Amino acid sequence: MIRTFLRPLQAVRVVQIPVRTTVVVERVNPLTKLRPWENIYDYNKYKYADFQYRVVRNTDADKWGNIDVILTEYVEGVGYKGEIVNIPREMAYTELLPAQLALYPTPDNVALFEEERKLLVDRPQISPFVMKCRDYLTTILLQIPINMKVKDWSLTRDNVRIALRRMNVMCDEDAILLEDGAINKDTYKLGEEFQVTLKINPLVDVSIKCTLVPVDKAKLWDEYQLSKRRAKT
């Protein structure tokens, strides 16, 4: 029976992966002074307190920080081909460098993409935060509250701006591309979805999926006044 239990354990193979790290330590207590004729390598002459250390720095626990790389292809939200960008080390080591989307900016690699780097001067620069904002807005369904009990109501850019503000997206009315009176009482059906274009900057715009939510402003005002009375009592 004992051999039967040991056989599966014998098949287990331990793979050791070497990790390069540095740990800087300092002594907690001063080292015991030995006499000149005593052997300093005779550890029996030392005390237990002589082997107590305090960790000063552990490079394995330090933050990675950023690193400069040169892109070999266009990476959305990062940069163009041939551009030298400063990105987090984790992103460089786990995504870009293994996929050959970036290289270390050595003199040879910089010279290899010299032609692409010259074209970057005339190419418009787009912030990665703009692309993240665009990607976020393409995934949401913007619920626009509007009072449908008003006679001849119509959707305005101000309604869209207020709805975006509720989603923590600030913009001007001029950035919202919407025809006045395009969506009104006669053209809109309750629950129907439509698209509104928002210009994030002069180069990037995004189509946002929207729907209208009927709201009775008078009812909301009554509820607000009632909540204030309850708070006082």
Q: CATH 3.10.430.100 spans which residues of the chain?
A: 130-218
Q: CATH 3.40.5.10 spans which residues of the chain?
A: 66-123
The pLDDT, as a whole number, for residue 77 is 74
CATH superfamily of 66-123: Ribosomal protein L9, N-terminal domain (3.40.5.10)
Q: What is the mean pLDDT of residues 135-146?
A: 89
The pLDDT, as a whole number, for residue 131 is 76
CA–CA gap between residue 217 and residue 186 (Å, rounded) = 21
In total, the chain counts a number of residues equal to 233
CA dihedral 215, 220, 222, 224 (to 10 degrees): 180
* Per-residue model confidence as pLDDT tens digits over 212-225: 888 876 566 566 56
Residue 86 has pLDDT above 60, yes or no: yes
* Assigned CATH class of 130-218: alpha beta
pTM: 0.49
* Per-residue model confidence as pLDDT tens digits over 28-59: 998 888 888 888 888 888 888 888 999 888 87
CB-based contact 112:100 (threshold 8 Å): no
The pLDDT, as a whole number, for residue 123 is 62
* Per-residue model confidence as pLDDT tens digits over 159-207: 899 889 988 888 888 899 888 778 888 888 888 899 999 998 877 889 9
Return all residues near 115 (Cβ < 8 A) that are at least 6 apart: 82
